[in-house]
Amino acid sequence: MSAFKTIAVVGDSKGIGEALREQLLDAGHRVIGVSRTGVQRPTDAVGEYQSLVFDAVAHPCDLSGFADQLDGIAYCPGTIRLKPMKGMKKEHALEDWNVNAWGAAQTLQTNFSLLQKSKQASVVLFSTVAVQTGMPYHTSIAMAKGAVEGLTRSLAAEWSPQIRVNAIAPSLTDTPLASAMLSSEAKQEASAARHPLNRIGSAEEIASLAAWLLGDGAAFTTGQVFQADGGMNGIRK
Residues 18-64 have pLDDT tens digits of: 999 999 999 999 999 999 999 998 877 788 999 999 999 999 999 99
Instruction: For CA atoms 79, 191, 23, 73, give the dihedral sign.
Output: negative
Q: Residue 187 — very low, low, confident or very high, per pLDDT cuts 50/70/90?
A: confident
Task: Give the C-alpha separation, 48 to 28, whole Å.
Answer: 7
Task: Give the C-alpha separation, 79 to 97, whole Å.
Answer: 9
Task: Give the C-alpha separation, 4 to 7, whole Å.
Answer: 10
- The pTM of the full predicted model, rounded to 2 decimals, is 0.93
Q: Residue 190 — very low, low, confident or very high, per pLDDT cuts 50/70/90?
A: confident
Find out whether 141 and 201 touch, Cβ atoms under 8 Å. Answer: no
Q: Residue 80 — very low, low, confident or very high, per pLDDT cuts 50/70/90?
A: confident
| Domains of the chain, each with CATH number or no CATH | 6-174+202-228 (3.40.50.720)
For residue 4, what are the contacts with CB-CB under 8 A and spacing of at least 6? 28, 29, 30
Task: Give the C-alpha separation, 234 to 190, whole Å.
Answer: 19
Amino acid residing at 100: N
pLDDT score at 175: 83
Q: What's the rounded mean pLDDT across residues 172-197?
A: 80
Residue of higher predicted confidence among 125 and 191: 125
Segment holding 236, helix H or strand E: none
Packed helices 15-26 and 203-214: angle between N→C axes, nearest 10 degrees? 50
Q: Does residue 67 surpass a pLDDT of 90? A: yes
Q: Does residue 121 surpass a pLDDT of 80? A: yes
Find out whether 92 and 44 touch, Cβ atoms under 8 Å. Answer: no
pLDDT score at 2: 60
Q: What's the rounded mean pLDDT across residues 85-94?
A: 93
CA 100 distance to own-chain centroid: 9
pLDDT score at 162: 97
Average pLDDT, the chain: 93
Encode pLDDT of 105-115 as tens digits: 999 999 999 99
Per-residue exposure over 86-122, b if at least 16 CB sit within 10 Å of its own CB, e if not: eeeeeeebebbbbbbbebbbbbbebbeebbeebeebb
Q: What's the rounded mean pLDDT across residues 3-19?
A: 96
Task: Give the C-alpha separation, 60 to 103, whole Å.
Answer: 8
